[in-house]
């Protein structure tokens, strides 16, 4: 059953709360990227993907491949909320023996299509999968999530060329264009713009969206399904740390969880409490049920 727009927005906020709780329990992990991608993962798991949480390896399922594996807390949270495994298991993130490692491992968790971690490799995996599916006459779609920072990797662009050469119209890539990476802002470290023109030059169809607008996310993936000439890239402009005021837009939270001592930020003992309060009250717009 597909959720409507309002339900999707509320579910995304629940997933953000799950992310904060997971990271606090783990004491490590990435905060900014997962929070920023919560809307997109919610739209995928609760509206867009053709999948079955009770039959994760269903042959006709759409394939979702996560290239920037470090944002896996958002994928785990979305999968748990969708029914792939108990929500309580989220609290095992990064723990010894857990199925929820700091980067996804395909053989540990049913429903995870690839083991990811090395940045720049995900699109090659997705393109190969899409190419094989086309050869076999399979009808499912392949979705690939990538970060903007990994566009600094040369092997990513080899995959871009491959996908265009073979007209992989069954492949949709979503770029998390949040403008940060672990060492700073992308345009300071290695400028990526103009991204739209680059993808058009590589013979991809390009759609730009607000990555926090559910309707735009759904509409963009719908448009991609109607394109039969080439692969499609959806450049989703997102705010890293979305929903937590002191994290939003700040690259220092790329690889840090709440509870990290960062100069100029709230005391580490208060960070999780502040974050959860903002998420539960939508930034103070509604009263918290715990007040």
pLDDT in tens, the chain (291 residues): 799 999 999 999 999 999 999 999 999 999 999 999 999 999 999 999 999 999 999 999 999 999 999 999 999 999 999 999 999 999 999 999 999 999 999 999 999 999 998 899 999 999 999 999 999 999 999 999 999 999 999 999 999 999 999 999 999 999 999 999 999 999 999 999 999 999 999 999 999 999 999 999 999 999 999 999 999 999 999 999 999 999 999 999 999 999 999 999 999 999 999 999 999 988 666 554 444
Q: Is 257 left (phi over 0), alpha (psi -120 to 50) or beta?
A: beta
pTM confidence score: 0.96
Is residue 127 in some structural domain?
yes
Is residue 78 in some structural domain?
yes
Is residue 229 in some structural domain?
yes
* Residue 146, domain extent: 5-280
Is residue 285 in some structural domain?
no
Parallel/antiparallel/unpaired status of strands 184-185 and 180-181 = antiparallel
pLDDT of residue 284: 63
pLDDT of residue 289: 47
Q: What gap in Å lies between CA 50 and CA 56, rounded to an integer? A: 11
pLDDT of residue 287: 53
If one counts the domains in the chain, the total is: 1
CATH number of the domain bearing residue 245: 3.40.50.970
pLDDT of residue 288: 46
Is residue 41 in some structural domain?
yes
Is residue 115 in some structural domain?
yes
Angle at 142 between CA 45 and CA 39, to 5 degrees: 30
pLDDT of residue 282: 80
Bond preceding residue 131 cis, omega within 30 of 0: no
pLDDT of residue 290: 44
Is residue 287 in some structural domain?
no
Q: What gap in Å lies between CA 221 and CA 217, rounded to an integer? A: 6
| Residue 169 Cα distances to 143, 196, 205, 227, angstroms | 11, 18, 9, 6
Let me know how long the chain is: 291
Candidates 60, 3, 69, 72; CA nearest to 34 is: 72
Q: Is 52 left (phi over 0), alpha (psi -120 to 50) or beta?
A: beta
Q: What gap in Å lies between CA 46 and CA 29, rounded to an integer? A: 25
Is residue 288 in some structural domain?
no
């Amino acid at each position: 059953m597909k959720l409507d727009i309002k339900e999707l927005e509320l579910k995304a906020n629940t997933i953000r709360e799950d992310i904060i709780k997971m990271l606090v329990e783990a004491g490590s992990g990435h905060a900014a990227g997962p929070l920023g991608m919560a809307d997109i993962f919610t739209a995928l798991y609760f509206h867009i993907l053709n999948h079955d949480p009770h039959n994760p390896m269903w042959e006709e399922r759409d394939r979702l491949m996560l290239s920037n594996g470090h944002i896996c807390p958002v994928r785990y949270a979305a999968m748990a909320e969708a029914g792939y495994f108990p929500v309580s298991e989220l609290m095992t993130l990064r723990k010894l023996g857990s199925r929820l490692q700091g980067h996804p491992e395909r053989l540990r968790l049913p429903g995870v299509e690839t083991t990811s971690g090395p940045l720049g490799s995900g699109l090659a995996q997705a393109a190969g999968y899409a190419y094989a599916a086309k050869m076999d006459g399979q009808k499912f779609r392949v979705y690939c999530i990538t970060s903007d920072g990994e566009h600094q990797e040369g092997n990513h662009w080899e995959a871009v060329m491959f996908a265009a050469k073979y007209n992989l119209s069954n492949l949709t890539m979503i770029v998390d264009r949040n403008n940060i990476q672990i060492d700073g802002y992308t345009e300071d470290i290695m400028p990526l713009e103009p991204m739209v023109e680059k993808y058009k030059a590589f013979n991809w169809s390009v759609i730009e969206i607000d990555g926090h607008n559910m309707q735009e996310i759904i509409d963009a993936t719908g448009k991609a399904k109607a394109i039969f000439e080439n692969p499609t890239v959806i450049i989703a402009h997102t705010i890293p740390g979305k929903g937590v005021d002191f994290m939003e837009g700040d690259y220092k939270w790329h690889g840090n969880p709440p509870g990290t001592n960062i100069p100029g930020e709230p005391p580490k003992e208060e960070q999780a409490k502040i974050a959860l309060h903002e998420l539960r009250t939508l930034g103070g717009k509604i009263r918290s049920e715990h007040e």
